[in-house]
Amino acid sequence: MLATEHAVEQIWGVTLDRLYDSEEGRRILSCIQCGTCAGTCPHGEYMEYPARRIITMLKAGLIEDVFNSDSLVKCVNCYACQTKCPRNIRLTEILLPLVKEQSILRLAQMPAELQKAVENTYRYGNPMGESGRKRAQWTRTSPVPVRIFSEDPRPADALWFVESDLSFHPRGQDIARATARVFHAIGADVAILGNEERAAGDCGRLSWEPGLSEALIDYTMSILQKYRFNRIIVSDPHALDAFKYRYPMFGFDYPVESVLGFVAARLDVLAPQLTSPIHKTATYHDSCCLGRHNALFDEPRALLKAIPGLSLVEMAHNRENAVCCGGGGGGMWLDTYYKARNMERLSDRRIREAIATGADVLAIACPYEVSRFEDAVKVAGMDQRMEVRDIMELLVESLGGQ
């Protein structure tokens, strides 16, 4: 399921007309038309051409028809089809982004919200359109000091890539502060890029803007060379994907870990400090990039189980089968576009599963999910009954006032 270094080399530079020149691309020819991809796709019922039909059309030389439909605009890069494909065709990593790029290019009009996010990312280095000079402002309200490389360039064990949501979104900043506090508790030697950081240009979100993605990667690579560190730890799962699968094509070779995995590996140091019990029931939503794409299923659960008093229940769809919140692949900025086509918000669908568990807390580990699910619990009329908390926030609550 996970890409190997070799495979990454293989998909570099793959385009639709050179698809069959690579081993990974040729794998598409082994499709047995079983329909697993279309059936597991959370938006499959809204697509004229789900993945199975796209492959058929491609083989029949009718791919232009697919481009001219908006099927792939509805792909939220959730990796469900790729994970479950019995022929191991790398749909979400290779084929779908290429088709998606063409489909978006052919839309009569770029969906306004998405356009603004891309424009902002190009101009300001973040989709919110906030000034890059405010990127490190959240650190001033951090309960513990956060080292910024430009102010203190000594080598660090880890470079913490904070990303835009944690830097600018008010709820994201809560998570950033909580993460800093957890790092402090485990004695991690981390530093951030601060105002020198710009969006990582993750491929899932920006595959339909490859030029922008490359510009951001070039920029980040040039900044990374200024400082010395052993590894990169990443808060945003989409940025994790970018560093793991995209950056190596540009000569990047640092070890990359998710913040979640990094903290879980140091649970022996953290667990004894988790002394304030949380007497609640939580259910964990597996983010697509952390879970399906990078197989981090046990780490978040281990962290939650380490919190005294907190009991963990599972939703009907969990781990590999978790249902996407709808934020990936640009979905974060396609809500209006989807709604205009009478599509149900995936976060509304998912929240019903969370509510059905009877949990008081929906635990998450991806910054997109905070705003998506906090809205969804309101839509479900359950905002008094269920709270949405990042695992880092729950850990800090359990650390108490130490």
Stretch that binds other proteins, among 19-27, 108-116, 274-282, 290-298 (CB under 8 A): 108-116
Question: In angstroms, what is the minimal distance from the CB of 110 to other proteins?
Answer: 6
268 CB-near residues (< 8 Å, 6+ apart): none
DSSP class per residue in 232-268? EEESSHHHHHIIIIIGGGGT----EEEHHHHHHTTHH
Do residues 289 and 257 touch, judged by C-beta distance below 8 A?
no
Say whether residue 341 binds other proteins (CB under 8 A): no
How many residues form the binding site for other proteins (CB under 8 A)? Answer: 25
Is 281 in a helix, a strand, or coil?
strand
Residue of 113, 320, 360, 397 interacting with other proteins (CB under 8 A): 113
Query: Which of 26, 133, 134, 339 contacts other proteins by CB under 8 A?
Result: 339
**Strand, helix or coil for residue 319:** helix
Residues 6 or more apart in contact with residue 68 via CB below 8 angstroms = 103, 106
Output the smallest distance, CB 129 to other proteins, in A: 9
SS3 state at 178:
helix
Terminal alpha carbon distance of the chain: 41
Q: Choose the binding region for other proteins from 18-26, 104-112, 269-277, 354-362 (rule: CB under 8 A).
A: 104-112
CB of 377 to other proteins, least distance (A): 9
d(CA 245, CA 239): 10
Q: How many CB atoms lie within 10 A of CB 225?
A: 8
Q: Which of 119, 320, 360, 397 binds other proteins (CB under 8 A)?
A: 119
CA distance 25 to 343: 31
- CB contact at 8 A, 364 and 389: yes
Give, as ranges, the residues between 152 and 181 that touch other proteins (CB under 8 A).
169-171
CB under 8 A: which stretch of 61-69, 185-193, 247-255, 334-342 binds other proteins? 334-342
Please tell me whether residue 335 binds other proteins under the rule CB under 8 A: yes
Of 1-9, 186-194, 269-277, 333-341, the window that binds other proteins (rule: CB under 8 A) is 333-341
Q: Does 381 bind other proteins (CB under 8 A)?
A: yes
Interface region with other proteins, contact rule CB under 8 A, candidates 146-154, 247-255, 331-339, 387-395: 331-339
CB of 171 to other proteins, least distance (A): 7
Nearest to other proteins of 320, 383 (CB atom) = 383
Sign of CA dihedral 171, 176, 182, 184: negative
Q: Considering the complex, what minimum distance in angstroms separates the CB of residue 390 from other proteins? A: 16
Residue 187 or 381 with smaller CB distance to other proteins? 381
Residue from 30, 68, 115, 230 in contact with other proteins (CB under 8 A): 115
Position 70 contacts other proteins (CB under 8 A)? no
User: Got the DSSP string for 326-369?
Assistant: S-GGGGGG-HHHHHHTTPPPHHHHHHHHHHHTT-SEEEE-SHHH
Q: Are 241 and 272 in contact (CB under 8 A)?
A: no
19-27, 253-261, 317-325, 367-375 -> range binding other proteins (CB under 8 A): 367-375
Where on the chain is the footprint of other proteins (CB under 8 A)? 108-110, 112-113, 115, 119, 123, 169-171, 333, 335-336, 339-340, 345, 348, 371, 374-375, 378-379, 381, 383
